[in-house]
Amino acid sequence: MEALTDLTLRQMSAMIAAGDISSVELTTAHVKRIERLNPVYRAFVLPTFEIALEMAREADEEISRGRRRGPLQGIPIALKDAFDTAGIPTTVCSRLYADRVPDRDAFAWARLKDAGAVLLGKLECAELCLGGPSKDSMAPNATNPWDKGRYAGGSSSGAGVSLATGMVPGALGSDTGGSIRIPASFCGVAGLKPTYGLVSLSGLFPLAGSLDHAGPMGRTSEDCALLLDAIAGYDPADPVCVPSAQLKTAPTLTEDLTGAKIGYVRQFAEHPAVSEEVRAATEQALKVMADLGAEVREVSMPDIMEFTACNSIIMMSEAFAVHGANLRNRASEVSEMSRKRITLGAFIRAEDYVRAQMKRRELARATAKAMKTVDVLVYPAALGDPPKLEEIEPFYYLDSPLITAPANVAGIPAASVRAGMSRAGLPMGIQITGRLFGDADVLRIAHAYERATPEFNQTALTEA
């Protein structure tokens, strides 16, 4: 990997602040890398290089005048193609929206823009944030750089792949049942699904509004913190966005976990569907955290299948509410995987949807109770190695545990961070989940763990 694009977002930011590099130089290095690698890895569906270079020039000009906007000024980033960008197509990688050009920016992108970030382009995602991986979607699936025959995770696949290959140092994804954390885990990068209501959903294309979250992805948790601090904030246009003080998680990061209380959800890690390697990696991560001063104790949670059922039923119902008309009138334009998954939502009765919402409250309360004596919970981010593309069936989530679902159901923050490599040479991830609005706790513990395990900070193979 070229030296410059191998750096973390934090390191790039420090170089810009010190005057060691300009935003134009940094952006140009990423443009060259995308031009070289994207034909193979297909992470970008719409590069915006001219816009990026213009934004970079503006950032450099502002910096030269002494106007400093903060750590993201002049930093190139990219957005999952579900975030509206004024005047730039936003298609959710679907033929249904192939010509859609929003006239307003998504709130989260507007915040990044205000912070001086530079838009390198729009990233591939599973069609409609649901349909991956699909052979017949408008945009080909982004390719897992660790093994081209395996899934990169979804739906924020392009974000995971672009970060793992050094095409971009920071990105925004969205997460309804794991769509930030799964690609982060499968691609060997970091991602945070923030607390529900912390980041506005305005201008994020909906999949299931009561479960959708917008959040940051980076090569490290520290980079996620820098992005989160920029995008979190009250938006009166989003009725669930919480009025709160400006969040500052990045300054709270530390490498010492003395006093931190960590709950290990053994029942999740020891679920029969979780591989032995992933369980061992999770327990090894807990040992590292204990060595850093944390107190680790076991915590009991409700059955993972209760979270899975709740998440799946709400998601399918709400997704059909969004796309029912499309399936009635334009079904041939929807890829096979999305069509199957969304259509099933039509058969969930209103009674069952309401029951799922009732169950959700019960699970959220049980989760809060489980976390009363700990700051965070730790358990795997995925069940095992990324599945082979040909082995993924459309309805896997009907009987397989969705280990990322608890955080969506309970609305709590959850990060996926690297936890080593499997015997097959593929990245493994752990989840660190916090209390409602405990996003800073999550990132603090994730950061300390990452700093203590530099051997996991490998980048993916990038030979084009």
Partner 1 sequence: MTSKAEFLSILERIGLNPDDHDVDELHAAYVRLGSLFLYLKTEQSRESAKSLNRFDPREPL
Catalytic residues: 80, 155, 179
Compute the C-alpha angle 348/315/239, nearest 5°: 120
Nearest-approach distance from CB 324 to partner 1, in angstroms: 8
Whose Cβ is closer to partner 1: residue 290's or residue 305's? 305
Nearer to partner 1, 398 or 461 (CB): 398
Q: How far apart are CA 178 and CA 308, in angstroms?
A: 11
How far is CA 237 from its chain centroid? 23
Closest approach, Cβ 334 to partner 1, in A, equals: 9
Q: How far is the CB of 262 from partner 1 (least distance, A)?
A: 24
298 contacts 266 by C-beta, under 8 angstroms:
yes
Smallest gap from Cβ 208 to partner 1, in A, equals 15
Could you tell me the smallest distance in angstroms from the CB atom of residue 316 to partner 1? 8
- Judged by the rule CB under 8 A, the positions of this chain that interact with partner 1 are 196-197, 239-240, 303, 305-306, 308-310, 312-313, 324, 327-328, 331-332, 339-340, 343-344, 346-348, 352, 354-359, 361-362, 364, 394-395, 398-399, 411, 436
Output the six-digit token pair for 438.
């405990």
Min dist CB 299 to partner 1, Å, is 20
Six token digits for residue 313: 């039923």
Chain centroid to Cα 421, Å, comes to 20
As measured in angstroms, the least distance from the Cβ of 344 to partner 1 is: 5
Nearest to 288 by CA among 250, 260, 251, 252: 260
C-alpha 274/C-alpha 427 separation (Å) is 15
Beta carbons of 190 and 224 less than 8 angstroms apart: yes
Give the shortest CB-40-to-partner 1 separation in angstroms.
Answer: 33
- SS3 for 307-376 is HHHHHHHHHHHHHHHHHHHHHHHCHHHCCHHHHHHHHHHHHCCHHHHHHHHHHHHHHHHHHHHHCCCCCE
d(CA 189, CA 329): 39
Here the tokens at position 248 are 């500052």
The string of DSSP codes covering 404-461 is THHHHHHT--EEEEEEEE-TTS-EEEEEEEESTT-HHHHHHHHHHHHHH-GGG-PPPP
Give 102 or 324: the residue with its C-beta nearer to partner 1: 324
Which residue has 């996926």 as its token pair?
A: 416
Q: 170 or 411, CB closer to partner 1?
A: 411
Q: Which is nearer to partner 1, 173 or 197 (CB)?
A: 197
Helix runs in 95-143, H state only? 107-114
Query: Which lies closer to partner 1 via its Cβ, residue 279 or residue 360?
Result: 360
- Residue 399 Cα to chain centre, angstroms: 24
- At residue 448, φ and ψ (nearest 5 deg) are -60, -40
d(CA 23, CA 25): 5
C-alpha to C-alpha distance for 299 and 321, rounded to whole angstroms: 36
Closest by CA position to 265, among listed 255, 257, 274: 274
> Which residue lies nearer to partner 1 by CB, 149 or 239?
239
